[in-house]
Structure 1
Amino acid sequence: MNQAPLVYITGASSGLGQAMALEFYRQGWRLALVARRTEEMARWAREQGLEAARWRVYCADVSQVESIVEAGRHCIAEQGLPDVVIANAGISVGMDSAIYEDLAVMQRLYATNNIGLAATFHPFIAPMNARRSGSLVGIASVAGIRGLPGHAAYCSSKAAVISYCESLRGECRPFGVRVTTIAPGYIDTPLTRRNRYHMPFLMSAESFARAAYRSIQAGHGFRVIPWQMGMVARVLRLLPNALYDRLLAGRPRKHREGE
């Protein structure tokens, strides 16, 4: 009997990762869920009434290369090679480069959002290429399209996610492995609820998950969700620097760590 397809998701303990896990489960998939707090993750799965045979939790710290690579290897050994791998884990925090301590914040953010994303994909690339099928999904952000004051670390890290996934897409295409970049706009999660600025086209995590599932299944190379933010992103790319700077003048900055 053929088993249901398998999706591997990092950052599955809250927000977008949790919403995508539920959507894939509802669509009949098996789940490989990665979290630092495995007991909380397992408790959530039981509270949702998820069938025990269809999910497993792996403990890993995405910012630690060996930790997340080992989680991927354990998944392959215990559940088989996934059909979809979603590198969703990420950190969003403001920074000020004039403050020395914030350089460490930037370093930690890159370790998770960039090195951690590449390390998440690493165990699966060669076997997916050999199988000649599979999807690798990087969760970027519309914040990666242009920089925002006070948000330099996050914006630059998500710009790097977009470029990295574009490079990887070209590398994997000859083997039949798809790479999808999803750039969320403003999604209603515990992280965004702390923002002190207007968030246009705010979308629920559940609606985001449904749209993301459709994009992954369709094999889109790059997709902004919701679509309205995709239109905004296109306009932002075209704005001259002087006009863009005036547009952002006086905009509240992202909270720094500890604020």
Structure 2
Amino acid sequence: MNWKGRTVFITGASSGIGEGLAIALATRGAIIGLAARRREILDDLADRCRAAGGTARVFPLDVIDEQAVFEAADDLRSEFGRIDILIANAGIGGNDEATRNYTPRSVKKVIDTNLLGAVNAVHAVLPGMLEQGEGHLVAISSLAGFRGLPKSAAYSASKAGMTAFFESVRLDVRHKGIDVTIIQPGFIKTPLTSGRANKMPFLMELEDAIPHFIRAIEKKKRFAAFPWQLATIVRAGKFMPAWMYDRIAGKARYRE
């Protein structure tokens, strides 16, 4: 796949997976719209993207702000003529006491960011893609969305919703020139997973994980899940009876 000159809009671009993808695509010559909340970090990332050979624009915003996301996409499209790929990556873990206690405001924040933030991004870019007759929507979901996990109610719900939303969109646009890829990674060493006392199974280094994301996008896969060992276990859990799943999954301590 030739990335040179392709315009990519990445939400949650300031760190972790978003940052890694931005640098990787910049080295391939892509035009990248970097969206996240922290301007100073975005400015630094944009400089690194340009040094790597790409073109970068920064859009300091919170993805829960529908109008801000729409205006950012519109500005990017106005400058470069089109948006070829959306990577809906913005997300928070909600790994705190308030969220674990199901405090509505805290749970809402996770769902607003992870799910509705992605909805806002799709709403901002999809009309233009339909008008140009082609485009690619990429959802960075999670293996945590397959079934509920301990101390992860808000996060698992947001990722399950994200997966279902993008799959539904795929069915709606599959004959309109729009590809939809849902990527479900396991544990990746990023700020989102830092500070946990217990070992996370099959934890991947970010630099090892990024090629998996790139490959899934380039091949326009409908679904991609990795690492394969954890993905296999999680998929098997989907078919377990509730009593068996509760016994096995209930022992998980990796959110602590």
- Fold match by TM threshold 0.5: yes
CA distance in 2, matches of 1:126, 1:160: 22
**Matches of residues 4-19 of structure 1 in structure 2 within 5 Å?**
4-19=5-20
Task: Quickly say closer, same or farther: Cα 1:201–1:133, change in 2 above 3 A.
Answer: same
Which has the bigger relative contact order, CA under 8 A and spacing at least 6? 1
Residues 151 and 253 of structure 1 are in contact (CA less than 8 Å); yes or no, is this contact kept in structure 2?
A: no
Residues 26 and 53 of structure 2 are in contact (CA less than 8 Å); yes or no, is this contact kept in structure 1?
A: no
AA aligned to 2:160 is A
Note if 1:241 corresponds to 2:242.
yes
1:143-174 per-position Cα deviation (integer Å, ceiling 9, x unaligned): 00011121100001100011001000011111
Q: Which moved more, 1:158-167 or 1:243-252?
A: 243-252
Residues 93 and 254 of structure 1 are in contact (CA less than 8 Å); yes or no, is this contact kept in structure 2?
A: no
The aligned residue for residue 252 of structure 1 is 253
TM-score normalised by structure 2 residue count: 0.91
Residues 12 and 21 of structure 1 are in contact (CA less than 8 Å); yes or no, is this contact kept in structure 2?
A: yes
5+ residue gaps, structure 1: none
- Percent sequence identity over aligned pairs: 35
Note if 1:220 corresponds to 2:221.
yes
The aligned residue for residue 162 of structure 1 is 163
**Matches of residues 131-150 of structure 1 in structure 2 within 5 Å?**
131-150=132-151
**1:46, CA displacement in angstroms?**
2.2
**1:36, CA displacement in angstroms?**
1.4
CA distance in 2, matches of 1:253, 1:202: 11
CA distance in 2, matches of 1:124, 1:141: 22
**1:28, CA displacement in angstroms?**
2.0
**Matches of residues 1-259 of structure 1 in structure 2 within 5 Å?**
4-47=5-48, 50=51, 54-94=55-95, 99=101, 102-252=103-253, 254=255
CA distance in 1, matches of 2:212, 2:65: 30
Task: Quickly say closer, same or farther: Cα 1:23–1:150, change in 2 above 3 A.
Answer: same
TM-score normalised by structure 1 residue count: 0.90
**1:244, CA displacement in angstroms?**
1.3
**1:68, CA displacement in angstroms?**
1.4
CA distance in 2, matches of 1:225, 1:156: 20
Alignment RMSD, CA only?
2.1
CA distance in 1, matches of 2:52, 2:23: 12
CA distance in 2, matches of 1:151, 1:98: 7
Residues 29 and 54 of structure 2 are in contact (CA less than 8 Å); yes or no, is this contact kept in structure 1?
A: no
1:30-55 per-position Cα deviation (integer Å, ceiling 9, x unaligned): 21111212222112332566268711
5+ residue gaps, structure 2: none
Residues 28 and 53 of structure 2 are in contact (CA less than 8 Å); yes or no, is this contact kept in structure 1?
A: no
